[in-house]
């Protein structure tokens, strides 16, 4: 098999709180192949967005820092780069679509200028060349009349068009890896489907590898090739989409699947996972899921499980995994 486009080994994000430190993302490891769409899922606060901000080295506070063995992309270990080195990688090799485009598009800059800014920085293009490339990218992401809309401001776009513009900004320099953080949040169902279809089309056209952060397993089923499930800052299950969704081995993954609204008729009660995720500065001993787990055993309250393979490409971190087909 060819080498992965992105190889993450034991990535951690650590926060300083006064005299103490709290680990928000704990030794995350995964590979991303060329053209692969990886769904990063879990409840709110599980560490999905923080992990990807750690990859980008775009942490929202000076009290946060990134540690790890390596994050290999385009022959570089991102953890060894200084800020100038990371600026060269962002946009050119690694792009990110943020959850709320209204907060990340500059309201005082025309859309074309925001796309062209990265093109001029990374490619040394002239202002005219950057504008021409911006028009081309807007056309690729489905913005109608791109020669006119390149001069529009963000507030002149609808929600769906702003999301497309955000994608255009991220793709302006043709990165190898795109991180999409809840790209369909607050969009209606029809527009959600259009945005997801656009991402897959761009993957097919460019050979783009995508990390899709989402809490919606329906989106994962339609869009992704593989799934990585996070809980309380740790990876608890990772594998092929079809295998994980059909035969989840970690009780938390099975619980997330069972929480999805039923599509059949009737009035069955929606299943839920009892309890709440733990506070990261007050974690339980052993497995972090043990206070909510129905599979709990003796080792769960004393020993943290490590990721172990259960089949080719399918890994779980559980002392007492579910048997294949067991959804109890």
286-306 pLDDT per residue, tens: 999 999 999 999 999 999 999
DSSP 53: H
Bridge partners of 237, per DSSP, are: 229, 316
Q: Please report, rounded to a whole number, the percentage of residues in the chain having pLDDT higher than 70.
A: 96
Contact 264, 78 (CB under 8 A): no
In 124-274, alpha helices (H): 127-140, 146-149, 159-171, 189-206, 217-223, 241-246, 251-258
pTM for this structure? Answer: 0.93
Give the pLDDT of residue 266.
55
Give the pLDDT of residue 104.
86
Give the pLDDT of residue 60.
84
Contact 219, 212 (CB under 8 A): yes
Unique residue bearing structure tokens 């025309």: 110
Give the pLDDT of residue 270.
75
Backbone angles phi, psi at 237, to 5 degrees: -155, 140
Give the pLDDT of residue 13.
97
Contact 227, 237 (CB under 8 A): yes
Please, which pLDDT band fits residue 327 given cuts at 50, 70 and 90? low
Bridge partners of 65, per DSSP, are: 14
| Per-residue model confidence as pLDDT tens digits over 238-274 | 999 999 999 999 999 999 998 887 654 555 677 889 8
Contact 190, 143 (CB under 8 A): no
DSSP 185: T
Q: Please report, rounded to a whole number, the percentage of residues in the chain having pLDDT higher than 90.
A: 77
Kindly calculate the radius of gyration of the chain based on its CA atoms and give it in whole angstroms: 21
- Of 187, 208, 186, the residue nearest 199 (C-alpha): 208
For residues 100 and 193, which has the higher predicted lDDT (pLDDT)?
193
């Amino acid at each position: 098999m060819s080498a992965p486009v992105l190889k993450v080994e034991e990535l951690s994000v650590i926060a300083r709180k006064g005299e103490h430190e709290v680990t928000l993302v704990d030794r995350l490891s995964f590979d991303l192949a060329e053209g692969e769409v990886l769904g990063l899922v879990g409840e709110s606060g599980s560490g999905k967005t923080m992990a990807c901000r750690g990859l980008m080295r775009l942490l929202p506070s000076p009290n946060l820092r990134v540690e790890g063995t390596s994050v290999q992309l385009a022959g570089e270990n991102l953890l060894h780069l200084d800020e100038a080195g990371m600026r060269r990688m962002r946009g050119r090799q690694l792009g990110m679509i943020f959850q709320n485009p209204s907060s990340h598009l500059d309201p005082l800059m025309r859309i074309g200028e925001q796309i062209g800014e990265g093109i001029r920085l990374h490619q040394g293009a002239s202002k005219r060349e950057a504008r021409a490339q911006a028009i081309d990218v807007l056309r690729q992401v489905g913005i109608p009349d791109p020669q006119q809309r390149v001069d529009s401001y963000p507030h002149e776009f609808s929600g769906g068009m702003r999301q497309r513009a955000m994608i255009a900004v991220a793709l302006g320099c043709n990165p190898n890896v795109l991180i999409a953080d809840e790209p369909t949040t607050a969009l209606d169902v029809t527009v959600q489907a259009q945005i997801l279809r656009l991402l897959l089309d761009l993957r097919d056209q460019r050979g783009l590898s995508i990390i899709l952060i989402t809490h919606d397993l329906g989106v994962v089923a339609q869009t992704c090739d593989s799934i990585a499930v996070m809980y309380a800052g740790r990876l608890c299950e990772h594998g092929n989409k079809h295998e994980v969704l059909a035969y989840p081995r970690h009780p938390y993954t099975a619980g997330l699947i069972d929480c999805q609204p039923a599509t059949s008729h009737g009035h069955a009660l929606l299943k839920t996972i009892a309890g709440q995720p733990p506070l990261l500065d007050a974690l339980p001993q052993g497995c972090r899921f043990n206070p909510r787990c129905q599979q709990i055993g003796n080792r769960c309250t004393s020993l943290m499980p490590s990721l172990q393979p259960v089949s080719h490409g399918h890994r779980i971190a559980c002392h007492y995994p579910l048997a294949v087909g067991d959804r109890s």
